[in-house]
């Protein structure tokens, strides 16, 4: 009895001719395409009465409170524009705490006289929606009796048209809050954190004489890694469908060791897919810039040009959505899971982050002049202090059951948060910290007195790279590399913005005081930075973060090493975290509690689903195949005996090994089944710990025996598409 499903999948893949030419950039060049479906600034200028346009821009660019009186005019212009583009519906898109986007569509139709209808869209409908949406996780914020949730228009992220084969929808980015004003989403805290950082950063640049800037934006450029596999394989794997990752599968004979995939030629079908995704993203104004093959087989990456963090986050959500959605058109499935395949690289999302004034000055760009260098050093010190002081919060911002498979393995940054500055910047920082004042170093002789023609021109392009560091300075921005590929980047950036805002606040307070006392600014900075750097330098590390030596060294330095999600989550509710987030009004204590609850629950659910899925697969797919093969081998041995030939020892040994492995598979599956169905006692966190210590570990055991069987059982009996097939048959 051969396994027809697997063979059928391969046959289908080999014989299917996919239509690859969906996009034609000759007819619509990207220049015209870009932003075509966005209610962008030029569209606003063209279609809005001048005072309305000005008021709206003031809100967008300077964070001025929105004048409700302009909403009707904006709504009408938006509606007319959308209808011209074929839209029949509008939706408030929001980002609930599931980490996905959510939308509920309403048509523009309003019945007027009997049998007639008007197309309406009022300012009220633009500004506020009430999607109910009470089934989203709220972590206790929304008890059912107060289940009302509102969406609120975010004018800083422009509305756009989302097309589908049979129509189009006007999509309005919104925040999602409870009727008591508590954030039920990921956008609201992000916006609050951006505001907090802006307020603090403005204080510093004012000290440096910049009085023009009205706002400081944080900027983000997320690099997205993902896998693509043929959908025929996907539908042959219950684990991929139910959990996003393979729970079983032994390594292919050839993995990524030849490193022949990285930056290699992109297969035709994949390239066609990428172009299609990009074309759609261009229309939505998402500035995708790069694409390439990643390290693992069938792994790819795309990255946009950076934007302000709010827009960049919205665009990242769209990017994930379109990556997923477009794949089916090409007979592919896009896997955004952090670790879809064991034994080869997982996927992350490198979160490139910086701060910029509304005039576009990048505050982490060392700049060409010493004055800029000093301002840069102030901001850089703020980041160093923030990351050291709040390393646990950064860690928890990237914690999930899926990312646990990645952080700490020898391919992704470890769970220990440290900063890589690069040799030159590290030397400058070391010198500042060591010498206390800014005397010149013997080796390079560059620092007589801070700020006066003394600092070297800092490298614009940091020549050295360190791929093992979770948080690396890369010339004019920091790259937070521990974010998982399936994550919304909102959480990580909310934390990053808030912790840096706090550090800047501390520095600004000190410097303002010194200035008020008549101290020279450079002197004040020279007095302040060395101490701060000394206090926080333990977080700086230039070496290989994957080594055991670093783990030992980090422990000596007292750096936290929160190895998995249940270890990381309590950081959310520590006193220091609550004080931080409430002080800058990013999360209230209740909001923090709700996040903690949701993350605990989500961890337990994810692990339980995986456990149940593994039990089903082991019991109904792997075990039957193994038993069939065991029968074949047993019959073959028996046949020899009947024929009067003594079965060779290797054949009886094979039978014995099969029997034993099958027995172990059953035994461990029973254990897993028990663990999954066991109702743990205690708090939510106890449930999470139980899941980690009993379900995750039992699953590893089951997998060990299942994968061993994959290497023994006749290939024609093996029921699951294998790694060598999924990753290499394209
Ligand atoms: P790499 O060599 O790390 O790939 P790139 O220059 O290609 O460096 O940048 C990677 C990502 O970093 C891109 O998305 C890019 O837009 C983003 N990036 C560049 N400058 C900034 C900045 N100032 N703030 C945030 N992201 C940035
Ligand atoms: Mg990369």
Q: What is the pLDDT of residues 604-655, one digit of tens each?
A: 999 999 999 999 999 999 999 999 999 999 999 999 999 999 999 999 999 9
* Token pair 């009004």 in the structure block, residue: 585
Smallest CA-to-CA distance from 531 within 438, 429, 418, 436 is with 436
Residue nearest to atom 11 of ligand 1 (CA): 221
CB of 669 closer than 6 A to ligand 1?
A: no
Q: Which residues neighbour 661 within 8 Å (Cβ) at sequence distance 6 or greater?
A: 626, 705, 708, 709, 712
3-state secondary structure of 671: helix
Instruction: Determine if ligand 1 sits within 6 Å of the CB of residue 304.
Output: yes
Residue 440 has pLDDT above 50, yes or no: no
Residue with tokens 């004042």: 437
Distance separating alpha carbons of residues 499 and 395, to the nearest angstrom: 13
Weakest mean pLDDT among 2-11, 498-507, 516-525:
2-11
User: For ligand 1, what atom is nearest to the CA of residue 303?
Assistant: 14
In the reported structure, the alpha carbon of residue 632 is separated from the centroid of ligand 2 by a whole-number distance in angstroms of: 47
Answer whether residue 457 shows pLDDT above 80: no
25 confidence band (pLDDT: 50, 70, 90): confident
Q: Say how many Å lie between the CA of residue 301 and the centre of ligand 2.
A: 7
The Cα–Cα gap between 328 and 262 comes to: 24
CA–CA distance, 36 with 286 (Å, rounded to integer): 11
Q: What is the pLDDT of residue 264?
A: 76
Is residue 203 packed enough to be buried (19+ CB in 10 Å), middle (13-18) or exposed (0-12)? Answer: middle
Q: Binning pLDDT at 50, 70 and 90, where does residue 515 land? A: very high
Q: Mutation test of ligand 1: which of 221, 313, 422, 497 has the most ligand atoms closer than 8 Å to its C-beta?
A: 221
Instruction: Indicate which atom in ligand 1 lies nearest the CA of residue 362.
Output: 23
663 vs 252, residue with greater confidence:
663
Q: Spell out the residues 6+ positions from residue 138 whose beta carbon is closer than 8 angstroms to its own.
A: 97, 149, 178, 184, 594, 598
In which region does residue 147 sit, left (phi positive, over 0), alpha (psi from -120 to 50) or beta (all else)?
A: alpha
Distance in angstroms (rounded) separating the CA atoms of residues 188 and 163: 26
Question: How many Å apart are CA 548 and CA 559, to the nearest integer?
Answer: 14
C-alpha 223 to ligand 2 mean position (Å): 6
Q: In which band, very low, low, confident or very high, does the pLDDT at 213 lie, cut at 50, 70 and 90?
A: very high
Mean pLDDT of 670-695: 95
For residue 588, the number of C-alpha atoms closer than 13 Å in the C-beta half-sphere is 10
Instruction: Please report the pLDDT score of residue 447 as a whole number.
Output: 38
How many angstroms does the Cα of residue 449 sit away from the middle of ligand 2? Answer: 39
What's the CA-to-centroid distance between 349 and ligand 2, angstroms?
A: 8
Which atom of ligand 1 sits closest to the CA of residue 304?
14
Shortest-distance atom of ligand 1 to CA 290 = 7
Instruction: Give yes or no for residue 475 CB within 6 A of ligand 1.
Output: no
Helices (H), ranges, 235-349:
238-243, 268-283, 309-327
The per-residue pLDDT for 463 is 53
Q: Which token pair is 512? A: 């303002």
Please give the pLDDT value at position 460.
52
Please report which ligand is nearest the Cα atom of 301.
2
Residues 6+ apart with CB under 8 A from 318: 101, 281, 284, 286
User: Is pLDDT above 50 for 362?
Assistant: yes
Determine whether the shortest distance from the Cβ of 219 to ligand 1 is under 6 A: yes
Closest CA to 382 of 612, 606, 216: 216
Instruction: Give the model's pLDDT for residue 149.
Output: 83
Residues 6+ apart with CB under 8 A from 699: 247, 610, 611, 614, 672
The protein residue whose alpha carbon is closest to atom 3 in ligand 1 is 474
CA of 305 to the centre of ligand 1 (A): 7
pLDDT over threshold 90, residue 26 = no
Q: Predicted confidence band at 461 (pLDDT cuts at 50, 70, 90)?
A: low
Contact 13, 729 (CB under 8 A): yes
Atom of ligand 1 nearest to the CA of 354: 24
Nearest CA to ligand 1 atom 13: 221
Q: Answer whether 309 contacts ligand 1 (Cβ < 6 A).
A: no
Q: Which of 350-354, 595-599, 677-681 has the lowest mean pLDDT?
A: 677-681
Beta bridge partners of 91: 105, 171
Q: Is residue 593 within 8 Å of 139, Cβ to Cβ? A: yes
User: Which stretch of 168-177, 286-295, 370-379, 608-617 has the lowest confidence by average pLDDT?
Assistant: 370-379
**pLDDT over 70 percentage in the chain:** 94
pLDDT tops 50 at residue 87 = yes
CA of 591 to the centre of ligand 1 (A): 32
pLDDT in the model for residue 579: 98
Binding site membership of 451 for ligand 1 (Cβ less than 6 Å)? no
pLDDT (0 to 100) of residue 52: 95
State how far the Cα of 389 lies from the Cα of 396, in Å rounded to an integer: 14
| Contacting residues for 596 by C-beta, under 8 A, at least 6 apart | 139, 569, 572, 573, 684
Checking if the pLDDT of 237 tops 70, the result is: yes
Mean of the per-residue pLDDT values of the chain: 91
Residue 1 pLDDT exceeds 60: no
Greater confidence (430 vs 323) lies with 323
- Position 381 scores a pLDDT of 97
């Amino acid at each position: 009895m051969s396994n027809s499903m697997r063979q059928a999948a391969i046959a289908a893949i080999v014989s299917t001719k996919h239509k690859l030419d969906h996009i034609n950039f000759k007819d619509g060049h990207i220049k015209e395409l870009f932003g075509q479906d966005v209610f962008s600034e030029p569209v606003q200028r063209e279609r809005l009465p001048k005072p309305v346009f000005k008021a709206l821009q003031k809100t967008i660019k300077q964070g001025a409170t929105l004048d409700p009186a302009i909403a009707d005019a904006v709504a009408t212009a938006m509606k007319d524009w959308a209808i011209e583009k074929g839209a029949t519906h509008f939706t408030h898109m929001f980002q609930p705490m599931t980490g996905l986007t959510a939308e509920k569509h309403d048509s523009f139709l309003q019945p007027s006289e009997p049998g007639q209808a008007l197309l309406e869209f009022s300012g009220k409908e633009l500004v506020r929606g009430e999607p109910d949406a009470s089934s989203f996780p709220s972590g206790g914020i929304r008890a059912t009796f107060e289940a009302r949730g509102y969406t609120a228009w975010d004018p800083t992220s422009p509305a756009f048209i989302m097309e589908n084969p049979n129509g189009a929808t006007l999509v309005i980015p919104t925040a999602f809050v409870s009727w008591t004003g508590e954030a039920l989403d990921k956008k609201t805290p992000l916006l609050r954190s951006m505001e907090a950082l802006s307020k603090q950063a403005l204080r510093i640049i004012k000290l440096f004489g910049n009085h023009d800037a009205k706002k400081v934006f944080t900027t983000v450029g997320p690099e997205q890694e993902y896998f693509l596999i043929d959908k025929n394989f996907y539908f042959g794997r219950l684990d991929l469908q139910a959990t996003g990752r393979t729970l079983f599968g032994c390594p292919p004979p050839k993995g990524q060791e030849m490193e022949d995939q990285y930056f290699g030629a992109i297969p035709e079908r994949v390239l066609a897919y990428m172009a299609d995704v990009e074309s759609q993203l261009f229309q939505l104004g998402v500035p995708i810039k790069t694409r390439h093959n990643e390290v693992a087989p069938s792994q790819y990456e795309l990255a946009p040009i950076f934007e302000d963090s709010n827009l960049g986050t919205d665009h990242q959500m769209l990017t994930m959505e379109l990556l997923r959605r477009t794949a089916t058109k090409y007979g592919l499935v896009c896997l955004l899971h952090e670790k879809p395949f064991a034994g080869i690289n997982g996927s992350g999302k490198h979160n490139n982050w910086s701060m910029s004034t509304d005039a576009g000055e990048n505050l982490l760009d060392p700049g060409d002049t010493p004055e800029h260098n000093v301002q840069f050093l102030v901001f850089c010190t703020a980041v160093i202090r923030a990351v050291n002081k709040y390393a646990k919060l950064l860690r928890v911002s990237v914690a999930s059951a899926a990312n646990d498979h990645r952080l700490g393995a020898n391919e992704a940054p470890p769970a220990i948060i440290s900063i890589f500055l690069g040799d030159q910047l590290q030397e400058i920082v070391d010198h500042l910290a060591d010498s206390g004042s800014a005397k010149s170093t013997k080796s390079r002789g560059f620092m007589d007195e801070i700020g006066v023609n003394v600092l070297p021109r800092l490298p614009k392009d940091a020549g050295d790279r360190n791929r093992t560091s979770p948080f690396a300075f890369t010339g004019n921005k920091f790259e937070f590399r521990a974010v998982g590929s399936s994550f919304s980047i909102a959480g990580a950036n909310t934390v990053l913005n808030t912790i840096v805002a706090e550090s800047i606040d501390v520095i600004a307070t000190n410097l303002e005081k010194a200035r008020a006392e008549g101290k020279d600014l450079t002197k004040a900075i020279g007095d302040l930075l060395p101490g701060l750097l000394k206090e926080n330098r333990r977080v700086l590390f230039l070496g290989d973060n994957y080594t055991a030596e670093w783990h030992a060294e980090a422990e000596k330095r007292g750096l936290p090493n929160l190895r998995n999600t249940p270890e990381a989550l309590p950081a959310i509710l520590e006193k220091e975290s609550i004080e931080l987030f409430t002080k800058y009004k990013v999360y209230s204590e209740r909001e923090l509690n709700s996040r903690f609850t949701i993350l605990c629950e989500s961890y337990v659910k994810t692990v339980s689903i995986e456990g149940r899925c593994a039990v089903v697969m082991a019991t109904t797919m792997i075990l039957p195949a193994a038993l069939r093969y065991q029968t074949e081998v047993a019959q073959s041995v028996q046949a020899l005996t009947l024929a009067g030939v003594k079965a060779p020892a290797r054949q009886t040994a094979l039978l014995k090994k099969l029997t034993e492995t099958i027995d172990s598979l059953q035994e461990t599956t029973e254990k897993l089944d028990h663990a999954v169905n066991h109702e743990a006692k205690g708090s939510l966190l106890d449930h999470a710990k139980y899941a980690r210590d009993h379900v995750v570990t039992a699953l590893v055991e089951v997998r060990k025996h299942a994968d061993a069987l994959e290497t023994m059982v006749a290939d024609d009996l093996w029921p699951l598409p294998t790694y060598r097939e999924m990753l290499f048959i394209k």
